[in-house]
Structure 1
């Protein structure tokens, strides 16, 4: 079969001219996916010393290893942020200084992130009878890895860094099957059990001591559009989850004005688009969604007492 190389190249070059929306030519460098992946792996080493390194780490070596790792990550992260800042605003002339300032603030918040991650490990250990040790959770639980990277990416997201926070969470998404937007606000003692298929949207606000199972979606109900039919960006689109809430597998909770009240339990496969009050047990039974007050020993509420759940 005759297949000249020049014909193949010619077809591609013609496509590059005709289909311009997916080209990035004659522009500044983009952040590198390969570098971001490497940074995420090194960030996990920094968060959990001794767990993600190839060789054993001693207490005596820790100051030197930490110093070298911080410097390496700081320099590479600043380089990638400089690319992202330049892409977002080509007119800005001092992207290097800006990138280093953000990197500095990023590392200053590591002690706070580590304290939060300690509570996440505790929540996983206390919430899963199969967990034998903290070591097992740190090394083998995908939910912890996902929330660790999300907590770091959230710092960069709040600092206004373009692209990189989302690249970080997509890196861990590809590894774990857990998709948490860097914009989501998440409290302490957060546990995702199993985790595959969990989706948490950008404007979610999640309290403390919250437990999610696999397949849970905290998503948007609809998208507001402007007069030209374009989706309006930056609105509150995703649910709020108050403290001590448990959501079982494959439940779908949608809407920016939807709140799961504190100490509530959402059963498997529930589809919910309106708020429920605290201390509610919401389950699917015989294909009908039913609501119970947990404080009343699961006694069914009367029709007048039941929250409006859109059914």
Structure 2
């Protein structure tokens, strides 16, 4: 037993349990901060927030429904695979409905109503109807990774093992939910991918078909970024905002287009930082560690040296 533990034991044996913390004063101070001094709670009754843990289960079931032979089981027949997909899809949509409903009511000032639930049902149905389209986009991303990475040996290797693919699966789901109006749930799904892969894609960002994020750690893509088809992005790339316009009170104006537009067939190598509402023209290559804040014509090759002087078409 340590010397501190012996001293505590002696004090406890002699005088009864000795309080180590002044919990009453701390709790009162936190109540004052929570209810008066620094109150950030919406008006109305208490509401339950969406659950990251529940959304992780929703994503797991959705991924198994979209790719049952890869994330589910491998011994399916035609009928059994449909039954498996139906079961996983039903569980995913039931769970998603609850989280969408929580997300809508959590940010509402009024009490939850039947209309909130009806809206959540409609939104979840609209989402479900688009799942075949999402799967088609994901297969195009999978093929792009296989073509673009000489180290890739199979589709299953990419689908299960590549962090870029995991992040894109999450993003395709989150982006659809974001566009349908489930913005809080979409943001939490994006953060699940961020935590798991180190790839941070805002659910509002628009990604075209056949996107390949290679390695991926440290990639950041902002809310209003638009990325075209067949774009390849390497690790530590940022598609960010250069500055934030403010209103007359100095508050950032939300919703303005402030992130780059990357046109089709662009390659962006590791460490490149592309900022502001600029356009990187189609078929261009952006070299590693480039800091770019100006438009790039199509068919350009931009290196650190060229961006210091002028952008040179190739």
Q: Does 1:30 align with 2:69?
A: no
Q: TM-score, normalised by structure 2?
A: 0.87
Cα deviation for residue 24 of structure 1 reads 8.1
Q: TM-score, normalised by structure 1?
A: 0.88
Long gaps (5+) in structure 1: 295-311
**Deviates most, 280-289 or 225-234:** 280-289
Matching of residues 31-70 of structure 1 within 5 Å:
31-53=50-72, 55-59=73-77, 60-70=79-89
Cα deviation for residue 290 of structure 1 reads 5.6
Long gaps (5+) in structure 2: 1-7, 9-16
Counterpart-to-counterpart distance in 1, 2:261 and 2:32: 45
| Runs of 4+ more than 6 Å apart | 22-25
Matching of residues 105-144 of structure 1 within 5 Å:
105-144=126-165
Question: Equivalent residue for 1:222?
Answer: 243
Counterpart-to-counterpart distance in 2, 1:13 and 1:290: 61
255, 258, 265: which one aligns with 1:244: 265
Matched-pair contact (CA < 8 Å) for 2:61–2:91: no
Matched-pair contact (CA < 8 Å) for 2:206–2:224: yes
Q: Deviations over 1:57-94 (max 9, x none)?
A: 50331111111111111111111111111123344621
Query: Over aligned residues, Cα RMSD in angstroms?
Result: 2.1
- SS class of match (2:104): helix
Question: Equivalent residue for 2:221?
Answer: 200
Counterpart-to-counterpart distance in 1, 2:250 and 2:67: 47
Count of aligned positions: 292
195, 206, 210: which one aligns with 1:185: 206
Matched-pair contact (CA < 8 Å) for 1:37–1:171: yes
Question: Equivalent residue for 1:262?
Answer: 282
Counterpart-to-counterpart distance in 2, 1:72 and 1:42: 7
**Deviates most, 282-291 or 239-248:** 282-291
Q: Does 1:232 align with 2:244?
A: no
Question: Equivalent residue for 2:181?
Answer: 160
Judging by fraction of residues, say which structure has more helix: 2
